[in-house]
A and B are shown apart, each in its own frame.
Chain A
Amino acid sequence: MVNQENIAVKAKQLTRKFGDFIATKELTLEVKKGEIFGFLGANGAGKTTAMRMLCGLLKPSSGEATVAGFDVYKEAEKIKKNIGYMSQKFSLYEDLKVTENISLFGGIYGLNRKEIKLKTQNIIEDLNLHSVANKLVRAIPLGWKQKLAFAVAQVHDPKIIFLDEPTGGVDPLTRRQFWNEIYASADRGLTIFVTTHYMDEAEYCHRVSIMVDGEVKALGTPRELKNQYQVNSMDDVFTELARGTSTK
């Protein structure tokens, strides 16, 4: 019996249709607190639709889901306050300074001036951004932007953070460094829900699910999945699953 207190994301037969097209079909999964959950799938497999439902952006057609203990139908506003979000575009305002981005998002999430000041100091300190604090985001290197976006997505101390392909277009070394940040946050108790295309990244996750054509076809730890499919890497697991559907 899993303690409900320890569940960050819970979905049961969560479904979303667009007309006749079923984008997400009966999604059922649980993500524990402090877990790094990899949400994998090819483009168009329904990842984005599922994620939008969990973030309170899109109403499900049927099924149930709670995020941070709040219902996706009735308590979308509360969910929004308790989650962070970052996409591969890094989602910062390029024409605002580093500090201005922090205070903008702090303000959006309802932090007061004192809290914003403190947060700004902490982020600059933690990420060692002193030299660029007053520069426009446009002018700082990609790796720094990514780290900053990750920090800004946590400015309101969310319980869960959704990362939508957060490492797209970044070199392997920077990616590795970014994953260190992710581990550090997870160690502090933050739940990470991450989508990615990179199968080496899937290996870093505590557990993963693989979505094919709107349905979760595999769910478990990377080791479990590799055993199940008798392969050596997550890349092969993914290929196996993809092949399975194309021959159908």
Chain B
Amino acid sequence: MLKGLIIKEFRHILRDPKTLLILFGMPLLQLLLFGFALSTEIKNAPIAILDHAKDAQSYALQSKIFSSGYFRQQEKLKNEKQIAQSFEGGKVKLVLVIPPKFAEQLANGNHVEIQVIVDASDINTGITLQNYAQSIIQNFQQQIHPTSKPFMQIVPKVRMMFNPELKSVYAFVPGVSALVLILISAMLTSVTIAREKELGTMEVISISPLRTQHIILGKVLPYLLLSMINAAFIILVGIWVLGMPMNGNVLILLLECLLYVLVALAFGVLISVKANTQQEAMFISLLSMMLPTIILSGFIFPVESMPWGLQQISKIIPASYFIEAIKSIMIKGGGFDLIWKPTLVLAFMATLLIILSIKQLKTRTN
């Protein structure tokens, strides 16, 4: 009985170009959109360098800066006057001034000042570039004097754990996965159940001897499989195309995805109990899933800077825990010792929602 239902569900999906497009087109589109168009990362920013030293170390520093991929040399400056001119023309976003006798000073262990001058008219870009430059200089210093103390006065020392190059991909791959998985799983299941209600086939199915569990499983299993394929797909694109690291255990990662997808699917079934039309189902899913996931999960806006009330809401959003777990696994290579807490919360949410959705469907008949 169940087999027939599952085959039927796959036929529905495969014969509906709209569903297929949402299922496989949307994840890719969102991933690439967030990856490239909405990226906060800046590449190949035009900068200028005023090198007073022109020695081995100053050249080494420059080559490090330009090989980073974040900067390209727009101009070589000869004197201080040209700095203002370059900025005024808008030709460069950042100027680096290397003091005279750079190598000698470094060798003597003296205090050296490198000026990092940033075009702050675009404040976000400016701060990002300043951070890039700072990181590279720090990195350079550590290479020549692994044990020495910081020698720059112009900028405070900023330490960026796990993401020294400020790659935005670290933040958005887990975020987009969270968003896409919850949308696909919750929206598509609720919409297909609502569609069967609209068409009247749900009535025929419920009059049949099929049990509630079978009806739910027949809906949920195909989407579980497709969502897991989607999860793997998103992660692979994240790693191969967008350069996300993968330092942890793949099985643990897939387990987290599974838990999260179950939460989303159960949500979808719950929505479908309330929604009688496809439009309603779509609307409720978008409102209750997409917006909170984007805004309150920490995906785009840091939870720490939210007011107390919103922080509490963020705690009941499944995506918050999923993102935490995924980041931990992929970036820090964390195992269960690091992610037992979000894993437990997700498992708890999944169990609760599945029980709730089966109960809800049953009470409809009494």
Contact = CB atoms under 8 A, between A and B. Distances in A.
B207 A108 contact: no
A108 B11 contact: no
A87 B204 CA distance: 8
Interface stretch (A38-46, A99-107, A202-210, A211-219): A99-107
Interface in B192-221: 199-201, 203-210
Interface in A55-102: 55-59, 77, 80-81, 83, 85-96, 100
A91 B3 contact: no
Size bracket of the A interface: 20 to 34
Contact of A94 (B199, B207, B209, B365): B199
A81 B209 contact: yes
Nearest to B208: A108
A109 interface: yes
Contacts of B3: 107
A110 interface: yes
Interface in B1-48: 1, 3-5, 7-8, 11-12, 15-16
A110 B209 contact: yes
Contacts of A83: 207
Contact of A80 (B7, B203, B207): B207
Interface residues of B, number: 23
Contact of A95 (B16, B204, B206): B16
Residue from B12, B16, B208, B366 whose CB has the most chain A CB atoms within 10 Å: B208
A107 B1 contact: yes
B200 A95 contact: no
Nearest to B14: A95
Contact of B12 (A57, A89, A93): A93
B203 A91 contact: yes
Contacts, number: 72
A145 to B, nearest CB: 12
Given A107-B4, A108-B5, A96 B209 contact: no
Given A80-B208, A95-B11, A103 B203 contact: no
B201 A91 contact: yes
A91 B210 CA distance: 16
Contacts of A81: 209
Contacts of B208: 80, 105, 108-109
A103 B4 CA distance: 8
Contact of A57 (B8, B15, B365): B365
Contacts of A56: 207
The 6 closest A-B pairs by CB, nearest first: A107-B4, A89-B200, A91-B204, A80-B209, A85-B207, A95-B15
Interface of B: 1, 3-5, 7-8, 11-12, 15-16, 199-201, 203-210, 365-366
Given A87-B204, A95-B11, A108-B4, 16 more contacts: A57-B207, A58-B365, A80-B207, A87-B200, A88-B200, A89-B201, A91-B199, A91-B204, A92-B201, A96-B8, A96-B12, A104-B8, A108-B205, A108-B209, A108-B210, A110-B209
